[in-house]
Amino acid sequence: MGMYKYVSLTFQNEYKNRDENLRNRIIAWRNEPAVNRLERPTNIARARSLGYRAKQGIAVVRVKVGKGLSKREKPHRGRKPSKNGRFYAYKKSHQAMAEERAARKMLNCEVLNSYYVGEDSQYSFYEVILLDRERSGIVNDRRYAGVVSQRGRAFRGLTSAGMKHRGMAMKGFGSMRNRPSSRANRA
């Protein structure tokens, strides 16, 4: 086995056994800002499998996303508000929301990909890999040139988490209604 295989097995065991190191790490993350830039990824094997390389123009950000349903105001004026729902489930995953938050914070960057790093009772934590649009090393790299040219990837659902909530990752019977979009195929 290669080195990264051992590294990924270490992280898997940490998550399975709810290791003390992981618990202390998550407690520290809870007090950090919602979008926090990192020097290096927490799970290097996962980050590299998603396209991370240690070069200028690639940044990693840890994003904290609150768990639970979204709350909306009750409507007023002329109808009984008790009959309207108050809590709604998002159609987007927490991971897709984390990518959007990272893209809003880092305006000059495009989201390459993201991965899960942990959760507690209140928050989910994701690390988002971002590419700097202005760096010549990124623009001239054939691996990243196509990604950088897509402006607003996270908001348009072009990342892997975004493709899932749009239904593009689905295959087989029933998936034909998702293309070109679920709204285009409404009955």
The full set of domain ranges for the chain reads 3-74+81-178
Contact, 67 vs 96, CB < 8 A?
no
Contact, 146 vs 139, CB < 8 A?
no
Write down the pLDDT at residue 7: 81
Q: What is the pLDDT of residues 6-15, one digit of tens each?
A: 888 887 777 7
Domain covering 3-74+81-178 in this structure, CATH number: 3.40.1120.10
Local confidence band at 177 (pLDDT 50, 70, 90 cut-offs):
confident
Write down the pLDDT at residue 81: 65
Contacts of 68 by beta carbon, 8 Å cutoff, 6+ apart: none
Closest CA to 108 of 41, 143, 159, 57: 57
CA distance 42 to 117: 8
Bridge partners of 115, per DSSP, are 127
